[in-house]
Amino acid sequence: MARTASGAEHLQAARELLHSARTAEQMRQAQAVLLPLELGLSLEQTATAIGRSVGATCNMRMRFMAVCEGRRGTPRSKHELRNRATATLEREAKILDEVLRGAADGAVLVVPQLKPQIEARLGKPLALSSVYRMLARHGWRKLAPDTRHPDGDPQAREGWKKNSPARWSKS
């Protein structure tokens, strides 16, 4: 036989959330608490009703009760939250201003060479892709492709090119 649902002391808070919910996720969270307590549904039936897995439904219930009891802060919206962000957007902009000073003068910037400077200012290692994403977040983009390799030989390159006549004559 299944256990009876816990959280009866949070029933009123769940009802209030159900009526004041602004997102579908808040509505599901309130339903995850209310359906087992008011209608006697099992966790599996509740998960089916709200369209989530059993594990996700259990996590929603536990998270709601933890917030009500003050053991956990209220979750922020996804737009406010930058998961695993190494710095705030303002701090990132300040670091990029310091590192990219030569860009204003038209200097060529090579991202792998900037990476150690950015890591030193952040105080933690970064993946190269994170540096590229940081640059993209702040409006930096590659303006022109590389036209030649720095160690290339211009004479060999000219010799490699086709030297076709301007017009083909019919034989």
Tens of pLDDT, residue by residue over 107-160, are 777 888 889 999 999 888 999 998 998 988 888 876 655 677 778 888 888 877
Question: What is 8-69's CATH topology?
Answer: Arc Repressor Mutant, subunit A (1.10.10)
pTM (2 d.p.) = 0.45
At 70, is the pLDDT very low, low, confident or very high (cuts 50, 70, 90)?
Answer: confident
To the nearest whole percent, how much of the chain has pLDDT over 90?
16
Lowest average pLDDT, out of 53-57, 58-62, 143-147, goes to 143-147
Distance CA(57)–CA(94), nearest Å, equals 42
Distance CA 95, CA 68 (A): 39
At 166 the pLDDT is 67
Amino acid sitting at position 145? P
CA distance between the termini of the chain: 94
| CB contact set of 34 (below 8 Å; sequence gap of 6+) | 11, 14, 15, 18
**Domain-wise residue ranges, the chain:** 8-69, 89-137
